[in-house]
Structure formats: structure tokens, C-alpha cells
């Protein structure tokens, strides 16, 4: 069903309302038969998209409300979350940052609602990866991440005025306990091995001494 404007060729063109065969509805702008421009698309399952379209695809700025109560507000390209956007998850967590082909990818900040902790740093294909800072209420960790886990050298910075340097390692014993058919994601989390505690230091190359007074 369609109720709205058409052009001289009889195509949907201008503003109109449509009910699709599957029960979804669209109220918005058309261009030569395609959903193009600003519109509101309501899905039969309760989801809803309010934003820009280009030739029937979400493209430009738009907000998508998901059936589970989560929400994405930001850039879309060719029906994908792509560019910059804010995703509010059903549990109250939020991600603010870059997206690529529907995934968190690039630089972004993830806030955990329950604990107030924040991950600020790199993402690759939806996973925490690259240089990052994990901020807790009274301390923070700076280092590298891979597949959502800290890896290699890093340091914990405590509000009381000291730092603990060290590295995250995956012990051979942990690896041996993993069954062959298990996915790598089930590996035991890497263990923190502390090396030294120092005063708060600025980011400087390792071993560099400050100039004499």
C-alpha cells in the first residue's frame, strides 16, 4: 500500500507513506521510486530507523532503535554503521567512536555502566586492539590490547601517586590446558607480571634520563 506523491512516470516521488508486504512501514521522502532523503522506517519486530536514505539504503545521519532497547546514533553508509557514532547497549554500556562496515573500528571509548570503567583506545573489527588506556575509579592501565585482552608491556597508574610497571604474559601451562577443539577465545586470560614500582612518570622513551639542573 502507498499513499503519497508520484512523478509523471507514476513512480513514488516526494513525500509518502508505504506499508510493505511483510508489515513494515515507511513514512518519508522518495526519489524516483526509491526511499531517498529523510524518513522513518518501522520494522514489524519493534525496531525503528529515523534518518537519511539513499536508494532504499540507510545512508547519512540516522538513529536506529533496536528491539532489545539498544540504540545507535551516527553515520551510515550503504546500510552499515560506518563513520562516527554512539551505540547505547541494552545494559547501559556506551561506545562512542569510529565504525567501519558495521563494526567498532578505529579509535573509540567504551564506558561500562556497572563499574564506571572506561576503555579509551584502538578497536579492530569490533574487538579492543592496539594502544589503549583502561580507566578505573582510582587507577588506570596503559598498554596494548589484542582481542580484548591486555598484552605485553604496560603499567598501572594509581591515584595515590605511584606506578606499577610490568607485562601481561600467557603462560605455557595455561596454553597446554586448552582442549584442541576449543576456540582461542576460551584461552585463560593473560597474567600480570609486575617488574617495578616507581613515582608517576611522563611518557618518555625507556631509559632516558632527564637533563641535569
Determine contact, residues 111/118, Cβ cutoff 8 Å: yes
**17 HSE (CA, 13 A, CB side):** 3
Give the Å distances, CA to CA, from 99 to 70, 88, 165. 16, 14, 32
Torsion over CA: 73, 76, 79, 82 (sign): negative
Q: What is the reported pLDDT for 172?
A: 57
**pTM listed for this prediction:** 0.84
Residue 150 pLDDT exceeds 60: yes
Q: What is the reported pLDDT for 132?
A: 97
Give per-residue pLDDT as tens, 10-39: 999 999 999 999 999 999 999 999 999 999
Q: Dihedral through CA 76, CA 82, CA 88, CA 90, nearest 10?
A: 90
What integer best gives the mean pLDDT of the chain? 89
Q: Which of 26-35, 90-99, 191-200 has the lowest mean pLDDT?
A: 191-200
Determine contact, residues 140/133, Cβ cutoff 8 Å: yes
CATH code for the domain defined by 1-83:
2.20.110.10
Q: What is the reported pLDDT for 204?
A: 53
Averaged pLDDT for residues 70-77: 98
CATH 1.10.3720.10 fits 91-176+184-200, yes or no: no
Q: For the chain, where do the domains classified as CATH 2.20.110.10 start and end? A: 1-83, 91-176+184-200
Amino acid at each position: 500500500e502507498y499513499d503519497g506523491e508520484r512523478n509523471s512516470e507514476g513512480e513514488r516521488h516526494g513525500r509518502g507513506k508505504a506499508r510493505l508486504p511483510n508489515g513494515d512501514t515507511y513514512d518519508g521522502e522518495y526519489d524516483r521510486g526509491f526511499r531517498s532523503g529523510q524518513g522513518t522506517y518501522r520494522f514489524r519486530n519493534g525496531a525503528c530507523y529515523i534518518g537519511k536514505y539513499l536508494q532504499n539504503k540507510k545512508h547519512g545521519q540516522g538513529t536506529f532503535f533496536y528491539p532489545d532497547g539498544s540504540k545507535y546514533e551516527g553515520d551510515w553508509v550503504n546500510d552499515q554503521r560506518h563513520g562516527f557514532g554512539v551505540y547505547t547497549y541494552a545494559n547501559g554500556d556506551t561506545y562512542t567512536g569510529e565504525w567501519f562496515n558495521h563494526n567498532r573500528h578505529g579509535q573509540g571509548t567504551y564506558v561500562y555502566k556497572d563499574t564506571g570503567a572506561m576503555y579509551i583506545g584502538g578497536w579492530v573489527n569490533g574487538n579492543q586492539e592496539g594502544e589503549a588506556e583502561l580507566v578505573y575509579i582510582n587507577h588506570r592501565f596503559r598498554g596494548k590490547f589484542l582481542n580484548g585482552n591486555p598484552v605485553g608491556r604496560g603499567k598501572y597508574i594509581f591515584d595515590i601517586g605511584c606506578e606499577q610497571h610490568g607485562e601481561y604474559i600467557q603462560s605455557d601451562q595455561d596454553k597446554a590446558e586448552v582442549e584442541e577443539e576449543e576456540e582461542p577465545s576460551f584461552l585463560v586470560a593473560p597474567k600480570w607480571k609486575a617488574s617495578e614500582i616507581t613515582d608517576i612518570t611522563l611518557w618518555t622513551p625507556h631509559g632516558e634520563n632527564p637533563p641535569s639542573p
